[in-house]
Chain A
Amino acid sequence: MGFTFAEKILAQKSGRSGVRAGEIVIAEPDIIMSHDNSSAIAKTFAEIGVSKVWNPDKIVIILDHVVPAASEKHAQNHKTVREFVSAQGIKIFYDINHGICHQVLPEKGHAVPGRLILGSDSHTTTYGAFGCFAAGIGRTETAAIWATGKLWLLCPQTYKILIKGKSPVGVFAKDVILHIIGKLGADGADYRCVEFTGIAVADMSIDDRMLLCNMAAEMGAKAGVCMVDDTTRAWLMGHGVTEYEAVYSDADADYENVLEFDISSIEPQVACPHTVDNVKPVSEVEGMRIQQCLLGTCTNGRVSDLRLAAGILKGKKIAQGVRLIVLPASKEVYQEAMREGILETLSEAGAVICNPGCGPCLGAHQGVLAPGEVCLSTANRNFKGRMGCPNSEIYLASPATVAASAIEGAIADPRKYM
């Protein structure tokens, strides 16, 4: 019996051979990423009582969650992080002008195929789009890695998710993954590694694959992955990454489950309050009044997402009574969107363009909701209170559905604009 991608990488990174799902390994990550929560991690690190981090070159720290600082507390938090970075000699530090961790790390060449990347953020799974084994961990665990360079990991079972068919007009990768999460449930892939494969995945851009792996976290997965192919190699080449050894599951690997989804006849999908797996076709929620639209986040803040929304909004105005907040996922995305005129189109349509960062997705600033308000967002979570107010509602959809809905002031089917 062959080995899965997860078994192979975790064996490699723990210096063992023949690791099987269910075994616990002590692995050394290639990269340990943390963001604004680095100051809390630094506190635990100090408690451990070791003065220097194990390897300053493998630690990546980025400020992205509340940037620029929204309050004195946030400012102090950032200051503490900068002081820690400087005191520890950590060279890979991205200050507030870079963007969201899950977009910036790949752009800067850190998401190298075959790597084990751990991060103190649940959507660390995103780097699976580049053939990395990438998992979110806790703050305590991150502090322990800073001190020792190692962490125990349970080698997960693997689900193969086979996506077949060609997506109909108006149906995008976001609709596909929402459809799958709706079927599997929020714990449908608990502690599993999920391999996305099939003709539909082969057709997808890197942006779309990042979205799939990003949202693998929303079905409980430890990691999501798309196998490296020509599309991956071309993207990496464009970002200066040329030396790596990609890892693939063996043809006779032991999958716990193989699930097939045919997307050729699905509608645009919407996740309804207050769980990501409460998914309905857009036709069932069309007409629901909204007060805010969010276009951005580590899920859907890439150039292709902004381009798609701008294509729908070009020459149009958003409805009165609706706010459209746009956050490009990174500086690179921002500048490309600027060059292509996308930002101008969105601004002309009535959008507020914010700086790259996580923005209102986690309810800290730049567009938190008031009681009774409804937001349609391209983000990955719609938990109660997520955008700052427990008495508000969040619906999740594709950039196309968000753009169409912004025009109508209510949840709308994007297909009539395509």
Chain B
Amino acid sequence: MRDVITGRVWKFGDDVNTDVIFPGKYTYTITEPAEMARHAMEDADSSFAGHVQKDDIIVAGRNFGCGSSREQAALCLKAAGVGAVIAKSFARIYFRNAINLGLPIVICPEVVGKVAPGDMLSISFSLGKLTHKGQEYRFPPLPEEVAGILDAGGLVPYVKAKFQKSG
């Protein structure tokens, strides 16, 4: 994971559930991340997958990722190039899945109401700082171990690398 990510904002509301992030009907038929990316956010904003650019940032309200535990809902955004998801809060399993699959997430309720779609936003993970139109917002920086998981691209590659290093 790069320390600083700068990208355009895509704005969503509260309770964005895993079915609109990655529809359930694809869960057993689509297994390739690149193909998952083509259906990312399909039922929340059908224009998303066609227009999302690398490092774009999703900004949403409370309880982002509620619903099923499907890991594809985090994986499809990562595969689509999304740089990070910022929300007022995340559903518990989504929060865990995102980190364990290597999708950076930020909890920062203060910034959510301030940004509009298409705005540029910059995130510094090590400083725990968001910058939007010259205004700074703080969030608790990720602990070293969790940043390490994101750096490695997820929990499995992280643990794998750890064993390779020690073995």
Docked complex Cα distance between A141 and B71 (Å): 12
Docked complex Cα distance between A138 and B94 (Å): 11
A13-56 vs B, Cβ < 8 Å mask (1 yes, 0 no): 00000000011101000000000000000001001111000000
The size of the chain B interface, using a CB distance under 8 A, is 28
B16-60 vs A, Cβ < 8 Å mask (1 yes, 0 no): 000000000000000000000000000000000000000000000
Question: What's the minimum C-beta distance from B88 to chain A, rounded to whole angstroms?
Answer: 11
A interface, over-half SS: mixed
Question: What's the minimum C-beta distance from A46 to chain B, rounded to whole angstroms?
Answer: 11
Inter-subunit contact B156/A50 (CB<8 Å): no
B111 at the interface (CB under 8 A from A): no
The size of the chain A interface, using a CB distance under 8 A, is 25
Q: Which of A48, A140, A187 contacts B100 (CB 8 A)?
A: A140
A378-409 vs B, Cβ < 8 Å mask (1 yes, 0 no): 00000000000000000000000000000000
Docked complex Cα distance between A144 and B143 (Å): 18
Question: What's the minimum C-beta distance from A390 to chain B, rounded to whole angstroms?
Answer: 11
On whether A138 and B71 interact (CB within 8 A), knowing A48-B160, A148-B162, the answer reads: yes
On whether A190 and B63 interact (CB within 8 A), knowing A49-B163, A49-B164, the answer reads: yes
Inter-subunit contact A140/B156 (CB<8 Å): yes
The residue in chain B whose Cβ has the minimal distance to the Cβ of A151 is B155
B89 at the interface (CB under 8 A from A): yes
B131 at the interface (CB under 8 A from A): no
A246 at the interface (CB under 8 A from B): no
Docked complex Cα distance between A50 and B140 (Å): 33
Inter-subunit contact B91/A190 (CB<8 Å): yes
Inter-subunit contact A24/B142 (CB<8 Å): yes
The residue in chain A whose Cβ has the minimal distance to the Cβ of B99 is A152
Inter-subunit contact A190/B89 (CB<8 Å): yes
Chain B residue numbers with a CB within 8 Å of A137 are 96
Docked complex Cα distance between A24 and B147 (Å): 11
Question: What's the minimum C-beta distance from B19 to chain A, rounded to whole angstroms?
Answer: 11
Chain A residue numbers with a CB within 8 Å of B96 are 137-138, 141
Chain A residue numbers with a CB within 8 Å of B162 are 148
Docked complex Cα distance between A49 and B91 (Å): 31
Question: What's the minimum C-beta distance from B49 to chain A, rounded to whole angstroms?
Answer: 25
Interface residues of B in 68-113 (CB under 8 A from A): 69, 71, 89-93, 95-97, 99-100
Q: Which of B69, B140, B159, B160 contacts A138 (CB 8 A)?
A: B69
On whether A140 and B164 interact (CB within 8 A), knowing A24-B146, A44-B156, A187-B63, the answer reads: no
Question: What's the minimum C-beta distance from A170 to chain B, rounded to whole angstroms?
Answer: 34
Question: What's the minimum C-beta distance from B86 to chain A, rounded to whole angstroms?
Answer: 17
Question: What's the minimum C-beta distance from A89 to chain B, rounded to whole angstroms?
Answer: 19
Interface residues of B in 122-167 (CB under 8 A from A): 140, 142-143, 145-146, 149, 155-156, 159-160, 162-164
A220 at the interface (CB under 8 A from B): yes
Docked complex Cα distance between A222 and B91 (Å): 10
Docked complex Cα distance between A21 and B56 (Å): 30
Inter-subunit contact A144/B156 (CB<8 Å): yes
Inter-subunit contact B92/A191 (CB<8 Å): yes
Docked complex Cα distance between A122 and B96 (Å): 13
Inter-subunit contact A140/B95 (CB<8 Å): no
Interface residues of A in 105-160 (CB under 8 A from B): 122, 137-138, 140-141, 143-144, 147-148, 152, 154
Inter-subunit contact B97/A138 (CB<8 Å): yes
Chain A residue numbers with a CB within 8 Å of B93 are 138
Given contacts A138-B93, A140-B156, A148-B159, 11 further A-B contacts (CB under 8 A): A24-B142, A24-B145, A47-B156, A48-B159, A48-B160, A49-B163, A138-B71, A140-B155, A147-B159, A147-B163, A154-B95
- Give chain B's interface residues, CB within 8 Å of chain A: 15, 63, 66, 69, 71, 89-93, 95-97, 99-100, 140, 142-143, 145-146, 149, 155-156, 159-160, 162-164
